[in-house]
Amino acid sequence: MQDVSALENAIGITFTNSQLLQQALVHRSYLNENPSFELPHNERLEFLGDAVLELAVTEYLYQHYPNPEGELTNWRASLVNAATLAAVSQEAGLEGYLYLSKGESRDSNSKARNYILANAMEALIGAIYLDRGYEAAAGFIKQWIIAKLAHILEHKLYRDPKTAFQEAAQERLSLTPTYHVVSESGPDHNKHFTVAVRLGDAEVAQGVGTSKQEAETAAAAAALEAKSW
């Protein structure tokens, strides 16, 4: 296994059980090519980390902001979405430590890689929770993820992209966007959907997500950017 001490220094967490950190970095594809590898893939840690992340962010927002539930829900969604988590993974330097198949290592598809990075960040949070407890995990989340909140609020990145795109399309073009599944892949427990958003017959953009709703949201966000709305 690789030396992860530099990664521990980067994220500010020293693990008692370094195998938990190693496991958080193991993508399923790596085990397909290396079935004798001593650690399992990171999907169970990802499942745990997702719950810890949502609780920590929800708790922080509840304690620090008196805003209505709907606003806090949108803010939370902006903090825990795949784009934010992938960016944090890159900042923390996780990408260079991921255990990936040769095919995934060569894949230049930024959308697919971003989901791997986002999932690894959730798995890392799960690993921190198991190794160091909730307070350490929440501290990590505050330092690396909740720290993005000021930027999100300043630039109003918390707006629901589907609502924003629909309002803009109706106001500017008197058209209502429609969403269409282009493809879906992966096993039932780890599906990935690609969805296109159209205005009339013209495709504006595509988005990828682990659910149709998430993919539609990603497509709407891409469409807002494509149209500069």
The amino acid at residue 215 is: A
CATH number (1.20.140.10, 3.40.720.10, 3.30.160.20, 3.30.365.10) of 161-227 reads 3.30.160.20
pLDDT at 113: 86
Q: Between the ranges 8-17, 153-162, 188-197, where is the mean pLDDT highest?
A: 8-17
What pLDDT does 172 receive?
95
Average pLDDT over residues 130-159: 94
Q: What's the rounded Cα separation, in Å, for the pair 179 and 221?
A: 13
Nearest-10 Cα torsion for 146, 149, 113, 55: 40
C-alpha to C-alpha distances, 110 to 106, 115, 124, nearest whole angstrom: 11, 9, 20
Which of the following is catalytic: 50, 131, 214, 216? 50
Cα–Cα nearest to 30, from 97, 96, 94, 101: 101
The residue whose two tokens read 């798995």 is 123
Catalytic residue among 46, 122, 214, 216: 122
Secondary structure (3-state) at 182: strand
Q: Is the pLDDT of residue 205 over 80?
A: yes
- Please tell me the predicted confidence (pLDDT) of residue 105: 76
Percent of the chain past pLDDT 70, that is, above it, reads 98
pLDDT bin (cut points 50, 70, 90) of residue 189 is: confident
CATH number given to 5-154: 1.10.1520.10
In tens, the pLDDT along 102-126 reads 888 777 666 788 889 999 999 999 9
Residues 203, 197: contact at Cβ < 8 Å? yes
Question: pLDDT value at position 108?
Answer: 61
159 pLDDT band (50/70/90 cuts)? confident
pTM higher than the cut 0.95: no
Q: Which residue has the tokens 């780890």?
A: 190
Lowest mean pLDDT among 52-61, 107-116, 196-205: 107-116
Residue 50 is among the residues annotated as catalytic for this protein: yes
Please write the tens of the pLDDT for every residue from 14-43. Answer: 999 999 999 999 999 999 999 999 999 999
The answer to whether the CB of 99 falls within 8 A of the CB of 28 is no
User: What are the extents of the domains in the chain?
Assistant: 5-154, 161-227
The answer to whether the beta carbons of residues 168 and 224 sit under 8 Å apart is yes
Contact 195, 180 (CB under 8 A): yes
Average pLDDT, the chain: 93
Question: What percent of the chain shows pLDDT beyond 90?
Answer: 77
CA–CA dist 40, 35 (Å, integer) = 9
